[in-house]
Amino acid sequence: MIEPVEHSAISEYRFLVENHLRVIYPEIDHSAFAQTLIDIMAPDGNCQTPETHQNHWDQRDTVMITYGDSLLTEGQPPLETLLQFSESFLKETINSIHILPFFPFSSDDGFSIIDYGQVNPKLGNWDHINAIADEFRLMSDLVINHCSSQSEWFQQFKRGESPGKDYFFCGSPDDDLSEVVRPRTNSLLQRIDTPEGPRYAWCTFSFDQVDLNFANPHLLQEIVKVVKLYLDHGVQIFRLDAVAFLWKTVGTNCLSLPETHELVRLFRTLIQFVSPHAMIITETNIPNRENLAYFGNSNEAHAIYNFSLPPLLVNALLCGSCQHLKTWMMSMPPALHGTTYLNFIASHDGIGLRPAEGLMDEDEINNMVSMMEQFGARISMRSLPDGGMRPYEINISLFDAMRGTLDGEDEWQIERFFCAHAIMFALEGIPAVYIHSFLGTRNDQVAVEQTGQNRSINRHRWDYDQLQTQLANEKSTHARVFKGICHLLKVRRRQPAFHPNATQFTLHLGNSVFAFWRQSMDRQQSIFAINNVTNQEQIVPLSEINLIGTDSWVDLISGELYTNLRGDLVLKPYQVIWLTNLLQQT
């Protein structure tokens, strides 16, 4: 008698997980291990088949990026202060919060995790995380390329004890590692004396951040337990930190290897069958073409960081030309439904330069680096295979990066800052705004001196009472910046043409005006985003924009109505116009 074929979500779940495992671990019992992972993720057997090509986002989505302790109130857990600020000031502006690693750590401001299962007690506890997740869509880092040298797993490694002794990737001083791509200048291998003799732990980022060995399926099993824990505490967006380095094979560049991509697919499958609206975002600070590969066939990342945007946009405003920005945008494929871009121009790190390679020439990058240094930036370097070094990242507050142009500082800093954000908000994708961009925070040179870390320049910790005083003073720079950014976002979230997957076309209005067209998916609303990227007035004939004469047109930002379609747009320095057909402005 032929057994009936089981058609259910759980059988499909098992089938897909087994297929991923066959690629990653050809030698193991795929069926048994797939069941082990599914038992972790869906212990009661409840799951549902996710819809394919489904957008779990729209124009109302905006993410705020923040550390758990960016805002401090004496006697109060910082996570509680963060929730108070977000509810009081941002409830009508954002709907998602990315709290950078909130776990016990030993270095790198959280990205060297000691214990994946605990909240850093200096920030609060799981109750505080749950409270934030109740009010906002919570995004958390899944820092799994490496963990802290102070973790229990690594202590076991040093003692030669299980399970940790097999959880870390090791190399040999005799290996040919000349092709390995990495973002740091320190030595790759760290000698560790163990009871079995010396072992050489692989450290992509620092000796305190020791790379995990995903060739060991038992390690993967432990990481899946971490994923389930985060889901149970309300995490809905998983940021896969430094995921491009996840799988190592000696003799290769150890970057974005096939097994890495398959692991991302596996994590997506494991998560979406138990939480269909959850998202995976890959953090891959690598050249643009390699970054795009993390969409897979709409079966890897739901969203990828648009890493090329920050350096190209800063450069456009610095030199007053959007040539490279236009060329890049025309080369970017529209994201298929079920995938999108995560747009950002400032973060806890800095302005990455690798994503600009191949888009800007070396002299242009060096000119940008030199001017940013004049605006107070610190420059982080990376090692090259030939032993040389190259700028890897510009560490600077974005507000200070907008001080001027290649000609030096000028009076247009705030206007330039708004222009940068308005461009980001109008582009295809979900915008992510760093908390210090909301607040117009400047370079924190004192923090750099205290920590010795370049990235501390853009990781200021605000006294919350002092911040509230600044925001209450309408004349303060911080209040002006906050009000302006929030205004743009409140306008944005009402426009269906700003849906992350709405149609986008680049317009050609010269290199001084960066312009593009967005159209809502129902084709009812058009928005022409027209941006003067220079410190000089620019004139754009409306006839060049090809507006439909039967519609009325209005600038969503200023409210100005345009009735003479044969006239001109006169753009002040760094002015932005979101020109839309009138009936769709609310």
What are the binding residues for substrate? 108, 146, 239-241, 348-349, 455
Average pLDDT over residues 6-28: 92
Amino acid residing at 390: R
517 to 195, 407, 500, 503, 570: CA distances (angstroms): 64, 31, 13, 8, 19
Query: How many angstroms separate the CA atoms of 245 and 256, rounded?
Result: 6
pLDDT digits (tens, 9 = 90+) for 352-393: 998 898 899 999 999 999 999 999 999 999 887 777 889 999
Q: What are phi and psi of 108, to 5 degrees?
A: 55, 35
- Annotated catalytic residue, options 69, 141, 208, 241: 241
CA nearest to 349, candidates 100, 129, 106, 147: 100
Amino acid residing at 458: N
SS3 10: helix
Residue 196 CB neighbours (<10 A): 8
When computed from its CA atoms, the radius of gyration of the chain, rounded to whole angstroms, is 24
Instruction: Answer yes or no: are the C-beta atoms of 79 and 68 closer than 8 Å.
Output: yes
Query: How many angstroms separate the CA atoms of 492 and 560, rounded?
Result: 16
Query: How many angstroms separate the CA atoms of 230 and 102, rounded?
Result: 12
What are the binding residues? 108, 146, 239-241, 348-349, 455
Element (H, E) at 291: helix 288-292
Strands 462-463 and 71-72: parallel
Whether 241 sits among the annotated catalytic residues: the reply is yes
Domain 503-584 is classified in which CATH homologous superfamily? Golgi alpha-mannosidase II (2.60.40.1180)
Amino acid residing at 421: H
pLDDT digits (tens, 9 = 90+) for 479-517: 999 999 999 999 999 999 999 999 999 999 999 999 999
Instruction: Answer yes or no: are the C-beta atoms of 400 and 463 closer than 8 Å.
Output: no
CA nearest to 294, candidates 278, 282, 306, 277: 282
Strands 279-282 and 235-240: parallel
Instruction: Categorize the per-residue pLDDT at 583 as very low, low, confident or very high, splitting at 50, 70 and 90.
Output: low
Instruction: Answer yes or no: are the C-beta atoms of 420 and 402 closer than 8 Å.
Output: yes
Amino acid residing at 387: G
Instruction: Answer yes or no: are the C-beta atoms of 417 and 374 closer than 8 Å.
Output: no
Residue 298 CB neighbours (<10 A): 14
Average pLDDT over residues 298-320: 96
Strands 197-202 and 568-571: unpaired
121 to 104, 129, 223: CA distances (angstroms): 8, 12, 22
pLDDT digits (tens, 9 = 90+) for 403-462: 999 999 999 999 999 999 999 999 999 999 999 999 999 999 999 999 999 999 999 999
Average pLDDT over residues 51-73: 96
Mean pLDDT of the chain: 95
Amino acid residing at 75: G
Average pLDDT over residues 161-175: 97
- In this prediction the pTM is 0.95
Instruction: Answer yes or no: are the C-beta atoms of 541 and 364 closer than 8 Å.
Output: no
Q: Which residues pair with 541 in a beta bridge?
A: 568
Query: Tokens 């001109």, residue?
Result: 568
